[in-house]
Chain A
């Protein structure tokens, strides 16, 4: 690094550092690499501390304060959390989120697994590429574009979905304006956009299974189904666990689709936890309370991750 001629003209202290860092000894190389290691980490560490670790601590601290930006923060102890636990609307938000998670994730896992099993045994390369592309395409769209598009398709009067359901003798459904079905409409929208993602994960998992296992499951009818349950599913359990947990965590943070399609309505029928956090923070400027809501969601997500960790040790079959 430091050339030998420079060492003569520089003051002795510099000379010492130069020698300390000299690349011509083994320990010099080691020291160089250690210093380089810290330097290389610096941008990432700074970024993560400023925008993730720091804010996480800030969020924790803020949840003990009452603050609306304009006045100085006021320490109120556990008041935000007491309010959180007695707030009936937050309960509704968690209920809606839970319904969405259960409905969406169940549909996603069952459909993605079925499609992946069926696509995997297609021998024709053109056909299998076609199906894979078809199922994957919606993943490219933004939640915003999906919400706008499917919002039109689900429209009561001029929506294409009600029009075609009419052919099946089904009466028009108030997909987005009735509190009984609005969560179903939003869940179907999300399934439409995320199916390709879950499908690709299952396809990868199935491709890694030994071929004899899949051949055994080829037999149609009851015996084939039993073999799928007894042999394929256990072998696939790492994939199933990964896909399910990823999907659950994604759905717990649900925002774009309900926010754009219904604004949480009718009433609070489709309001999710993240929407409530957004509204109390950026709508009502109750930053302390919003932080408490965010923190509660974080704890739920942490719990899901913990369950994943526990299950992966106990239940998942690793080959």
Chain B
């Protein structure tokens, strides 16, 4: 405190102004706390509005002022969601797509990350730069040829596979896991060789488990990105029974435009639960992963 005051007011009147600067500081504290609370309200209010409005009867859902605290809760909107769209089917699709991509990425990225991080072979560095360079290509730049490959070559149009296969190889995940494998000391490998382990065992029994924090980051990030993906399913899917839930919600909004918004909001609440659960379980990994560079989508 004393030292900072010397920097800010090195005059003789310093002591007489201390009273003023004390109040100024307190005011600054209160103002900044006020700003933080205001911003927290702005980010949280839409969530509260979605939940409380989803619990109001359809006739009341347009009422203003909005009723922030749901008093007499009405769950009929949630039942309506199941009647209007094949909700469970669409949730199951989302789960199937998301979990397949997560599992696929964990396998391919841990293999490739291990190869780049711990194995030596001719051309390793060039291949690594090629893989990194693909990260710069935005998904939209390649979507038309990908669509042609999926629909004309693989004949997967309107199949869940159309949303799974293109997502399995991941440059970002390879890069992420390479960093993890590189951070593990060589001693483990030498000890294992002395014990008579072969190369495959060294990978599966020693290095794969040790890289699990990196895998958790990749899994949580990919889950979040894939579950929330809207653009790719919009292009590949045309039958309601094959939609993932992101498309289902927008579809639901389509019918309900003139009807009740509380049904749509009930759908949003239900479709967000899995991501919230993943966040609660893997919060640390999600935040860490986003700070490391984030994924596209």
Residues of A within 8 A of B (CB): 1, 23, 29-30, 32-38, 40-41, 43-48, 50-56, 58-59, 62, 111, 114-115, 118-119, 122, 130-131, 134-145, 147-150, 152-153, 158, 160, 163, 192, 195-197, 200-201, 204, 215-216, 218-221, 223-224, 246, 249, 252-253, 255-256, 260, 274, 277-278, 281-282, 287, 290-291, 294-295, 297-298, 301-302, 305
Contact = CB atoms under 8 A, between A and B. Distances in A.
A278 B231 CA distance: 10
Contacts of A255: 140, 230-231
Interface in B184-236: 193, 198-200, 203, 224, 227-231, 235
Interface residues on B, range: 35 or more
A88 to B, nearest CB: 22
B228 A141 contact: yes
Contacts of B40: 130-131, 134-135
A253 B253 contact: no
Interface string B286-297: 010011011000
Given A44-B170, A46-B169, A140-B275, A34 B4 contact: no
Contact of A40 (B25, B115, B253, B265): B115
Contacts of A256: 230-231
B290 A44 contact: no
B269 to A, nearest CB: 9
Contact of B141 (A142, A260, A282, A297): A297
A41 B121 CA distance: 11
B92 interface: no
Given A33-B120, A249-B138, A294 B291 contact: no
A46 to B, nearest CB: 7
Contacts of B168: 43, 47
Interface of B: 4, 7-8, 24-25, 27-28, 32, 35-36, 39-40, 42-44, 46-47, 49-50, 62, 64-66, 107-109, 111-112, 114-116, 119-122, 124, 127, 130-131, 134, 136-149, 165-166, 168-171, 174, 193, 198-200, 203, 224, 227-231, 235, 246-247, 249-250, 253, 261, 264-265, 268, 271-272, 275-276, 279, 287, 290-291, 293-294
A183 to B, nearest CB: 19
Nearest to A299: B141
A274 B141 CA distance: 9
Contact of A220 (B28, B120, B198): B28
A19 B142 CA distance: 45
B112 A43 contact: yes
B136 A291 contact: no
Contacts of A52: 134, 137, 142, 169, 171
Given A34-B119, A37-B119, A38-B121, A223 B144 contact: no
Closest CB pairs A-B (n = 3)? A47-B169, A142-B228, A58-B145
Nearest to A227: B7
B121 A37 contact: yes
A119 B147 CA distance: 45
